[in-house]
Structures are given as structure tokens and as C-alpha cells.
Amino acid sequence: MTKTKYLEELGRLLGDLPQATREDILYDYEEHFRNGLEEGKTEEAIAQALGEPKAIARHYRANYALERAETKTTTGNLLRAVIASVSLGFFNLVFVLGPFIGLVGILMGLFAAAFGITIAGMGTFLGVLLHPYLPFTVTAAAVPGINKVVIMFASLGATAFGLLFLIGDCYLARLFYGLVLSYLKFNLNIIKK
């Protein structure tokens, strides 16, 4: 592959990166060609030594996605970084995407449980308060030997527990975000070597 074709293909494959970043990368590879030509190598030999433009572009896109996820913490940026890392090879499909999907499922389950406990506590509390007006709501007769005050305090406790659980899930999600970024960096470093 000639220098012109190589750089055109690399530039095309890096199309989703910012213009300045893309220009820096292309300048570096143009410099590789210039140095190689000065050493007496052919353009084809230099291109072969540099590697496939597709693989190079995937690495740069993965690095960019990871840097963006670090600077701007959003779920979309984290997802883009994971997808960019998965595109680097089958190894990443198994060791990045599989655990990521499993852990996201667990995190979503924890959020759903916290939300459900909070809603159940609030619903029970409202049911006890509205019982005189809506007789089909929670009554002390539903649980023999327990009066409405105990049910109200238990429902307040469930609501508070659900809200604390939700707050804990938010901290856990933040920790998960950081751990995923650290793992992706580790993974990219292994692949570079």
C-alpha cells in the first residue's frame, strides 16, 4: 500500500475523532513514512511495518472513547468506550462485554429493588392514612394483633430503607463506572503490548 492510500484510509477510518486529534495522528504516521523513506525503505514496506489502518484506527477510537468517558461521566460515554474496546477483538467480546452486561444487570436489579421497597413503604403508609376514606386499603384486620400505628411506622421504616438503598445504589453505580474505566484502561494496555 502506498503512503497516500495508507494515510487516506487511516484518515477515513478516524473520521469520528475530532479534527485536531485526527490531524495529529495523520501527521505522526506521515512522519513515520518520511523517516522510513530517508532510511531507504519502500512505501509498501513502511505501510506493512506500521500495521493495518483498521487496527490502528480501532485503537485510537477506543483510546478516545475511554478518555471521553473519563472527562465527561455519562452512561452513553461509558457505553461507547465499552463498545470501542469490544471492537478490538474476540478476546474483548468475552472478557469485557460479558462481565459488563452481567454487572449492569445486577446494578439495574438493585435499583429496581430499592425503588420497589420505597414505593411499597409509601403505598402502605398512604393506605393506612386513607383507610377511613377508602376502606379497601390496608387495615389492622389484615394482620391480626397489629394496630395501624405499628403498620405506619413499619411503612415509614420501609420507605426510609428504600431511599437509603437507592442512595447506596447511586454510590455503587459511581464506583462501577470508575471500575469499568480502570478495567478498560488495563485491557487496552494489554492489547497494546
Quick: pLDDT tens for 35-53. Answer: 999 999 999 999 999 999 9
Do the domain assignments include residue 181? yes
> Which residue range forms the structural domain that includes residue 99?
73-192
Q: Is 97 exposed, middle or buried (0-12, 13-18, 19+ CB in 10 A)?
A: middle
Domain match, 93 and 166 both: yes
Domain match, 123 and 39 both: no
Do the domain assignments include residue 60? no
Domain match, 101 and 181 both: yes
pLDDT of residue 147: 78
Do the domain assignments include residue 57? no
Q: What is the mean pLDDT of the chain?
A: 89
Task: Record the pTM.
Answer: 0.75
Domain match, 136 and 95 both: yes
HEC string of the chain equals: CCHHHHHHHHHHHCCCCCHHHHHHHHHHHHHHHHHHHHCCCCHHHHHHHHCCHHHHHHHHHHHHHHHHHHHCCCHHHHHHHHHHHHCCCHHHHHHHHHHHHHHHHHHHHHHHHHHHHHHHHHHHHHHHHCCCCCCCCCCHHHCCCCCHHHHHHHHHHHHHHHHHHHHHHHHHHHHHHHHHHHHHHHHHHHHHC
Domain match, 82 and 27 both: no
User: How many domains are contained in the chain?
Assistant: 2
Quick: pLDDT tens for 88-141. Answer: 887 788 888 888 999 999 999 999 999 999 999 999 888 888 877 876 665 555
Domain match, 118 and 173 both: yes
Domain match, 27 and 82 both: no
Domain match, 106 and 177 both: yes
Do the domain assignments include residue 44? yes
Do the domain assignments include residue 62? no
> Residue 87's pLDDT band (boundaries 50, 70, 90)?
confident
